[in-house]
């Protein structure tokens, strides 16, 4: 197949220069005629038949072989050019499509880069937000830890207070039992008769079983009694003598009324002779001797009870019952103040309280027990309500810790 490098039309011959020509004939070149120029300038397909239909050149009636060969060469060249044009167009279309794909890919890459930048910005914002959230959570955790510590301390304090309240309730119940026993003993035991006064001693029978009648005085070792030993009447038997081993025990039933009178007369005599302070000291000593194994609270309760019962004035006894002194020292101070006030009122000729002998003996027990029981019940109710409040708070705190 020949590839035309250059075509030159001459008068006698047309030279065709192949890539490796074996021969070259040179003649003076001439210009193309009108037919050749028109043929070369035409567009579209050209065949040999088209060349045959053209008019022959002037002066010749038949085409030469050279012309036919030229026409064949032109046809071959045109076909080659047309095929190359088609392939070139295909290549151009392919390049155009690839270029458009490349542009689309570049645009996609640009969009991807933009999205990546936006994603990086969002990630940076998210990271900052997470950092702030972590700091906030750390602060909340520290505050929660402190709150948990405070709650644990409160629970411990509540448990300790619950234990203390339980102990107080136990002590209160014990004191109530002791008070009930004391009141039952006082109610069951009849008072001892006194020849000189209608008042009676409040020491119950059976409580001072270790003491003997005639062996020790009911109010021993008082300086005032020792100084006034010579003033004791002859017909009354003093209790400073040696004990009689045949005498009945304190609290047991005497042989007859005479022995009871002999045992109570000196007591009432010494009771009239001594002051309130000496009476309190003597009752405290006797209570300790009667209850050697009792605790301090029980001794204070019993000594205060005996001290109030040993007082002569019913008004003073009622006032002391209403006040509820803590120990015998407090009761002694209150009794001295009340006696002083009454003495001052007597000096001014004013009566504080008018009582009769008939009604005073009957109403003493009720007047003393009713306010005492009311105050005791009020105290118990207050303690129970406080215990309920503490239990509710403990249950709420335990539920909170479980959650």
Of 158, 204, 95, 234, nearest in space to 392 by CA? 158
What local confidence, expressed as pLDDT, does residue 367 receive? 66
What local confidence, expressed as pLDDT, does residue 122 receive? 92
Q: How many other CB atoms sit within 10 Å of the CB of residue 349?
A: 6
Higher-pLDDT residue of 170 and 308 is 308
Q: Quickly state the pLDDT bin for 349 (edges 50, 70, 90).
A: low
Joined together, the tokens standing for residue 185 give: 């003993």
Classified as helix, coil or strand, 51 is: helix
Strand partners, 15: 8
Q: Quickly state the pLDDT bin for 274 (edges 50, 70, 90).
A: low
Spatial separation of the C-alpha atoms in residues 57 and 316, rounded to whole Å: 173
What local confidence, expressed as pLDDT, does residue 62 receive? 55
Q: Where are the domains of the chain?
A: 1-31, 173-352
pLDDT at 217 over 50: no
Where is average pLDDT lowest: 94-98, 219-223, 287-291, 340-344?
219-223
pLDDT at 293 over 50: yes
Q: What ranges in 189-221 are assigned the alpha helix state H? A: none
| Average pLDDT of span 270-299 | 82
| Average pLDDT of span 347-356 | 55
pLDDT at 196 over 80: no
Q: Quickly state the pLDDT bin for 82 (edges 50, 70, 90).
A: confident
| Average pLDDT of span 273-293 | 86
Q: Exposed, middle or buried by CB within 10 Å (0-12, 13-18, 19+), for 201?
A: middle
What local confidence, expressed as pLDDT, does residue 272 receive? 45
Note whether 394 and 159 are within 8 A (CB). Answer: yes
| Average pLDDT of span 17-44 | 46
Q: Quickly state the pLDDT bin for 263 (edges 50, 70, 90).
A: very low
What local confidence, expressed as pLDDT, does residue 109 receive? 93
Spatial separation of the C-alpha atoms in residues 295 and 303, rounded to whole Å: 12
Q: How far is CA 32 from the centre of its chain?
A: 114
Higher-pLDDT residue of 182 and 7 is 182
Q: How far is CA 179 from the centre of its chain?
A: 42
Q: How many other CB atoms sit within 10 Å of the CB of residue 211?
A: 19
Q: 115-171, pLDDT tens digit by residue?
A: 999 999 999 998 888 888 898 888 888 888 888 888 778 777 777 777 777 777 777
- What does the mean pLDDT of the chain come to? 66
What local confidence, expressed as pLDDT, does residue 188 receive? 56
pLDDT at 359 over 60: no
Joined together, the tokens standing for residue 47 give: 């065949």
What local confidence, expressed as pLDDT, does residue 186 receive? 58
Output the CA angle 95-99-102, nearest 5 degrees. Answer: 140
Spatial separation of the C-alpha atoms in residues 199 and 214, rounded to whole Å: 21
Range among 157-171, 213-227, 259-273, 325-339 rated most confident: 325-339
What local confidence, expressed as pLDDT, does residue 63 receive? 62
Spatial separation of the C-alpha atoms in residues 324 and 331, rounded to whole Å: 8
pLDDT at 337 over 50: yes
Note whether 371 and 363 are within 8 A (CB). Answer: no
What local confidence, expressed as pLDDT, does residue 395 receive? 74
Output the CA angle 330-333-338, nearest 5 degrees. Answer: 125
């Amino acid at each position: 197949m020949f590839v035309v490098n250059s075509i030159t039309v001459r008068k006698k011959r047309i030279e065709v220069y192949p890539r490796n020509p074996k021969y070259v004939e040179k003649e003076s070149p001439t210009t193309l005629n009108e037919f050749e120029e028109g043929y070369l300038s035409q567009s579209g397909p050209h065949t040999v038949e088209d060349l045959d239909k053209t008019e022959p050149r002037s002066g010749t009636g038949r085409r030469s072989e050279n012309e036919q060969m030229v026409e064949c060469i032109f046809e071959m060249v045109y076909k080659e050019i047309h095929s190359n044009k088609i392939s070139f167009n295909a290549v151009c279309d392919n390049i155009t499509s690839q270029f458009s794909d490349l542009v689309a890919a570049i645009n996609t890459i640009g969009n991807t880069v933009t999205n990546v930048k936006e994603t990086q910005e969002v990630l940076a914002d998210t990271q900052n937000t997470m950092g702030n959230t972590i700091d906030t959570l750390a602060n909340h955790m520290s505050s929660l830890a402190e709150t948990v510590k405070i709650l644990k301390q409160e629970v411990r304090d509540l448990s300790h207070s619950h234990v203390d309240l339980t102990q107080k309730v136990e002590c209160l119940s014990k004191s109530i039992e002791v008070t009930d026993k004391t009141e039952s003993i006082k109610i069951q035991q009849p008072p001892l008769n006194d020849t000189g006064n209608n008042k009676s001693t409040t020491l119950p029978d059976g409580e001072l079983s270790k003491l003997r009648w005639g062996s020790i005085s009911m109010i021993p070792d008082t300086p005032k009694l020792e100084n006034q030993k010579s003033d004791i009447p002859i017909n009354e038997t003093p209790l400073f003598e040696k004990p009689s081993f045949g005498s009945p025990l304190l609290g047991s039933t005497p042989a007859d009324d005479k022995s009871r009178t002999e045992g109570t007369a000196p007591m009432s005599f010494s009771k009239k002779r001594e002051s309130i302070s000496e009476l309190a000291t003597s009752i405290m000593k006797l209570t300790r001797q009667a209850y050697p194994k009792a605790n301090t609270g029980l001794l204070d309760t019993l000594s205060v009870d005996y001290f109030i019962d040993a007082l002569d004035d019913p008004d003073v006894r009622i006032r002391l019952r209403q006040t509820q002194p803590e120990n015998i020292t407090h009761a002694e101070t209150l009794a001295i103040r009340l006696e002083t006030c009454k003495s001052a009122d007597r000096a001014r000729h004013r009566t504080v309280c008018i009582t009769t002998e008939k009604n005073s003996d009957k109403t003493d027990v009720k007047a003393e027990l009713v306010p005492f029981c009311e105050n005791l019940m009020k105290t118990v109710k207050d303690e129970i309500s406080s215990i309920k409040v503490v239990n509710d708070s403990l249950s709420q705190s335990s539920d909170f810790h479980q959650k």
